[in-house]
Structure 1
Amino acid sequence: MIFTSAVFLGRFLPAILLIDWGAESAGLRRLRWLALLLASLFFYAWWRLDHLAVLLASIAFNYWMGHAIEAAPGPARRVLLTLGVAANLLLLGAFKYTGFLAANALSLLRIEGFQLPEMALPLGISFFTFTQIAYLADCARGQRGRHGPIEYALFVTFFPHLLAGPIIHHSEMIPQFQTGRRPLGVAAQDLAVGLALLAIGAAKKLVLADNLALIADAVFGMAADGEAPKPKQVWHGALAYTFQLYFDFSGYSDMAVGLARIFGVRFPPNFDSPYRAIDLVEFWRRWHMTLSRWLRDYLYIPLGGNRGGPLARYRNLFVTMLLGGLWHGAAWTFVIWGALHGLGLIVSHLVRSHLGPLAPRGRAGRLLLVLVCWLLTFVFVTTTWVFFRATSFDAAWQMIGAMYGAGAADPPRAPLSDNAQDLILAALAIAVLAPNSNAIARALENPGRAGLAAGALAGAAALAAIATGLTAPNASPFLYFNF
């Protein structure tokens, strides 16, 4: 079930809401947990029933391991944590990286004609694996808290975040399940804000991302087939994918945050207008914020963080982004994307450390500097997304060569539709200038003109998005389901 599909919006969500509200109104907290857990497992099994066993086995192992880690003395605790993390990474690697590693090994050994059978990747495995690695690390720090197996299983499987995040700490979610019945006013506000975010996310996906995908797929398809589009076409394709990915994933995140809010659970925001960033440091504080937080807390800091001087800091930063790239997919294109962002972050930190004395003093000079920095950051991010989207190195280099002057003189296929440029410009204006969903949610929580305006905007989005979702013949999956 896709969040924007008729079966989800018209059947699954209303049914679960009625059951949940009934259990909450009756004060049946444990029954509410169980109902939400069973609904989440049903939601997951809807995609592939056989992968439900993988999810349940992972939950059972990590709950038991977390309990064992918490009860163990210091040295044994570190050993158990290492074993637990290794087991999670082995599970992720078996499904996600076996084919990639085998193909590279066979290529190095020059063995031809042999290929391992492909294994279907369980949806959400990257997200529920990272979530549970964080849980084990928190248990080793003595931060497990008090909860039983039902609360833990619900924390991992809660359907709004199960398939593509946000990546939540157990200490953020489980205590919210353990609270008592919400006052009626609080529940009403949760419903209003949640529906608004649900509608905004659906509008991003159905109105913007899915239409931008037509442009991006056409251009990247040319490159994958070995053709050389014109530079203008390639820029259209790269920019279309830049905004498609943002509106698709931030739309999913808005819907996830909104769905959780309807049930009285508050998720941290996952996006904060990242294309407004004026350097890569700021970009990664605004893009996929819960993954950035995870990489910082559970990879960058354990590697040493900024301890040990600038060289150690930059090394740890580069390794973190390199592994972050590999987390997104089992392909060298993702590794290159991560490496480029690692290098870009190093340059951004160096510029930040030296820009102060060089910054112009006048208002006009500062504004010009901000615009130049924004443009350089945006162009860098757009260019590197080509590696993220391309299906091969050859296709990526074909695209980047055309972007920077090595394209064909005449398009090998029919040109893109006339409205491609208009749609890209509209997407740019919305991504950079329009208030984001976090600002709209804050406005809805406060009385006054801003709240009324946000409510009207959200209501219009709700009518358009839900109507589109209920009438669309085929709802396309969100992009991050592939990661």
Structure 2
Amino acid sequence: MFSLFFYTWGEKELVVLILLSTLVDYTSGLLISYGKRRLGLYFSIGFNVSILLYFKYANFISGNLIGALEFLNMSSENALQFSNIALPLGISFYTFQTMSYTIDVYRGQVKASKNFIDFATYVTLFPQLIAGPIVRYAVIEKELKNRTVTTSLFYEGVERFIIGLSKKMIIANNCALLADGVFNLPASESSAIIAWLGIIAYSFQIYFDFSGYSDMAIGLGKMFGFNFPENFNYPYIAKSIREFWRRWHITLSTWFRDYLYISLGGNRKGPWRTYIHLIIVFFITGLWHGASWTFVFWGLFHGMFLIIERVLENKHLKVPALLSHVYVIFVLNISWVFFRSDTMADSFQYIATMFNFSLQTNMEFLNYYLTKELIFVLFAALILSTPIYKKVMYYTTHSTMTFTNYTLFSPLKSIGLFMLLIICFTYIATDSYNPFIYFRF
């Protein structure tokens, strides 16, 4: 009930949609368990895809249709009725989550839930409802029926929540100031240095924004006795785009792998079919992130490099680790331009500026944005986007920790977390509204 109240508070009457989705997938699971396998599967997929198409993509389809009709000098009046449809919060996440349930039931990997309250709790769990992680039913099936909340697990959840909140408020929001400033700067006033600083800041912003939300969701889950899956594993240390997708938004990439890529045939039907499957998967991955050609291009851009990597892998071409890492960072920064820009024209204009080293640097802009606070945040983002801090903490707490040292370290750690929480509250009190990036997906 609390989760439904949480969702209703923000979405009001649109809560009916998530309730309807819950009822449809609960019924679909029962249909599959009673022998109506195809009916249950198609009912679930058909309903969830339909509401996604209508609520998330009707505006996109309408806009492109209007443009095509106007180009052909035809009336676009009828298409206008689909051009202003509200996007329900979290619809991309809860539709994928419920579809994974019915597909798993169809495949025999989980048993259909006979308890509607348990299933509704699974769908509407408020910590991860809005922006993931995408939790599969099998992961928390036992915890829905019987879970234990311990003091240590609750403290672990609080610690994880504070770390996630700090990622968002201290790092992501400060990086957003620079990224927004650069992307809003007219091309005539920008330069290569400014453009690269802007996209690097955005790379840190989106990582710490989204991984911060995932940390907060995982932390809240632990407070209530749920163990949600990890969603990030230092993606910026990847040495290939393929490895990047094993580390970035893990619950989404594994969803596409298990329910789309493998269903299409995966890599079992030869290299050319594999490449086609990758293009389909990353086309849909881009479209999942947003109803815009920039997102579609972003997805296809990643798909293209995945294909290139497979071709080179088949030729047994090995590249030094450092060079591979530089290549990945370069490709990711170019791809984030399309993810961040409003239009394809804006994207290409921004990229052109990134490589136009003849432009004079706007020092007034840099002096305004590159404050000591922001420079410190960018440095912290660089360090924390690698496992260096994690390894230092592990070494401190496991390799050299004596009982005496532990009694000193533990209170210091708690004080540090409390100070982070105070800093976050200070930012919340003074900053303007800055929602999580993935709220709009």
TM over 0.5: yes
The partner residue of 1:384 within 315, 323, 335 is 335
The partner residue of 1:424 within 378, 402, 413 is 378
Partner Cα separation in structure 1 for residue 18 and residue 84 of structure 2: 19
Report if the CA contact (8 A) 1:203-1:251 is conserved. Answer: yes
1:202 equivalent in alignment to 2:168:
no
Query: What is aligned with 1:402?
Result: 353
Given the superposition, is the C-alpha separation of residues 460 and 335 from structure 1 closer, same or farther in structure 2, using an over 3 Å criterion?
farther
If asked which structure has higher relative contact order (CA below 8 Å, sep 6+), I would say 1
User: CA offsets per residue over residues 177-207 of structure 1, 9 Å max, x none?
Assistant: 212545xxxx122112111111111111111
Letter in 2 for 1:390: S
Query: What is aligned with 2:437?
Result: 479
Query: What is aligned with 1:365?
Result: none
User: CA offsets per residue over residues 49-90 of structure 1, 9 Å max, x none?
Assistant: 111111111111111122112212xxx522431232011111
* 1:363-378 pair list within 5 angstroms: 369-378=320-329
User: CA offsets per residue over residues 394-428 of structure 1, 9 Å max, x none?
Assistant: 21111111112277435497335233555434322
Given the superposition, is the C-alpha separation of residues 180 and 411 from structure 1 closer, same or farther in structure 2, using an over 3 Å criterion?
closer
- For the residue of structure 1 that corresponds to 2:10, the secondary structure is coil
1:126 equivalent in alignment to 2:92:
yes
Given the superposition, is the C-alpha separation of residues 48 and 201 from structure 1 closer, same or farther in structure 2, using an over 3 Å criterion?
same
Report if the CA contact (8 A) 1:229-1:412 is conserved. Answer: no
Partner Cα separation in structure 1 for residue 412 and residue 163 of structure 2: 9
Report if the CA contact (8 A) 2:160-2:215 is conserved. Answer: yes
The two structures, once aligned, show a CA RMSD in angstroms of 2.8
Partner Cα separation in structure 1 for residue 364 and residue 10 of structure 2: 36
1:142 equivalent in alignment to 2:97:
no
* 1:112-123 pair list within 5 angstroms: 114=77, 115-116=80-81, 117-123=83-89
Report if the CA contact (8 A) 2:192-2:356 is conserved. Answer: yes
Partner Cα separation in structure 1 for residue 398 and residue 125 of structure 2: 24
Query: What is aligned with 1:49?
Result: 12
Query: What is aligned with 2:38?
Result: 78
The partner residue of 1:92 within 49, 52, 59 is 52
Letter in 2 for 1:162: L
* 1:338-377 pair list within 5 angstroms: 338-355=299-316, 358=318, 369-377=320-328
Partner Cα separation in structure 2 for residue 445 and residue 259 of structure 1: 26
* 1:7-26 pair list within 5 angstroms: none
The partner residue of 1:211 within 174, 195, 199 is 174
- For the residue of structure 1 that corresponds to 2:369, the secondary structure is coil
Partner Cα separation in structure 2 for residue 461 and residue 475 of structure 1: 26
Letter in 1 for 2:384: I
Which shifted more, 165-174 or 442-451? 442-451
TM-score by length of 2: 0.89
Query: What is aligned with 1:465?
Result: 420
Report if the CA contact (8 A) 2:100-2:259 is conserved. Answer: yes
Report if the CA contact (8 A) 2:31-2:39 is conserved. Answer: no
Query: What is aligned with 1:303?
Result: 264
How big is the shift at 1:310?
1.2
Report if the CA contact (8 A) 2:235-2:248 is conserved. Answer: yes
Given the superposition, is the C-alpha separation of residues 475 and 100 from structure 1 closer, same or farther in structure 2, using an over 3 Å criterion?
closer
Query: What is aligned with 1:363?
Result: none
Report if the CA contact (8 A) 1:272-1:436 is conserved. Answer: no
Partner Cα separation in structure 2 for residue 201 and residue 79 of structure 1: 41
Partner Cα separation in structure 1 for residue 411 and residue 313 of structure 2: 41
Letter in 2 for 1:99: N
Given the superposition, is the C-alpha separation of residues 253 and 123 from structure 1 closer, same or farther in structure 2, using an over 3 Å criterion?
same
Given the superposition, is the C-alpha separation of residues 55 and 414 from structure 1 closer, same or farther in structure 2, using an over 3 Å criterion?
same
Partner Cα separation in structure 2 for residue 93 and residue 442 of structure 1: 49
Query: What is aligned with 1:14?
Result: none
* 1:113-262 pair list within 5 angstroms: 114=77, 115-116=80-81, 117-145=83-111, 146-179=113-146, 181=148, 187-222=150-185, 227=188, 229-262=190-223
Report if the CA contact (8 A) 1:275-1:431 is conserved. Answer: yes
Given the superposition, is the C-alpha separation of residues 254 and 308 from structure 1 closer, same or farther in structure 2, using an over 3 Å criterion?
same
Partner Cα separation in structure 1 for residue 290 and residue 398 of structure 2: 38
Report if the CA contact (8 A) 1:324-1:338 is conserved. Answer: yes
Report if the CA contact (8 A) 1:220-1:237 is conserved. Answer: yes
Partner Cα separation in structure 2 for residue 475 and residue 447 of structure 1: 43
User: CA offsets per residue over residues 268-300 of structure 1, 9 Å max, x none?
Assistant: 100000001011111110000000110001110
Letter in 2 for 1:296: R
User: CA offsets per residue over residues 237-270 of structure 1, 9 Å max, x none?
Assistant: 1000000000000000011111101111111100
Partner Cα separation in structure 1 for residue 166 and residue 423 of structure 2: 9
1:268 equivalent in alignment to 2:229:
yes
The partner residue of 1:317 within 239, 260, 278 is 278
Percent identity reads 35
Given the superposition, is the C-alpha separation of residues 125 and 457 from structure 1 closer, same or farther in structure 2, using an over 3 Å criterion?
farther
The partner residue of 1:330 within 275, 288, 291 is 291
Given the superposition, is the C-alpha separation of residues 457 and 373 from structure 1 closer, same or farther in structure 2, using an over 3 Å criterion?
farther
Query: What is aligned with 1:39?
Result: 2
Partner Cα separation in structure 1 for residue 49 and residue 336 of structure 2: 26
Query: What is aligned with 1:21?
Result: none
Partner Cα separation in structure 1 for residue 397 and residue 363 of structure 2: 50
- For these two proteins, the number of residue pairs brought into alignment is 426
Partner Cα separation in structure 2 for residue 467 and residue 133 of structure 1: 40
Partner Cα separation in structure 2 for residue 441 and residue 482 of structure 1: 36
Give 5+ residue unaligned stretches, structure 2.
none
- For the residue of structure 1 that corresponds to 2:228, the secondary structure is coil
Partner Cα separation in structure 1 for residue 24 and residue 161 of structure 2: 33
User: CA offsets per residue over residues 352-400 of structure 1, 9 Å max, x none?
Assistant: 34446x56xxxxxxxxx21111011011001100100101112111111
TM-score by length of 1: 0.81
Which shifted more, 100-109 or 373-382? 100-109
Given the superposition, is the C-alpha separation of residues 401 and 112 from structure 1 closer, same or farther in structure 2, using an over 3 Å criterion?
farther
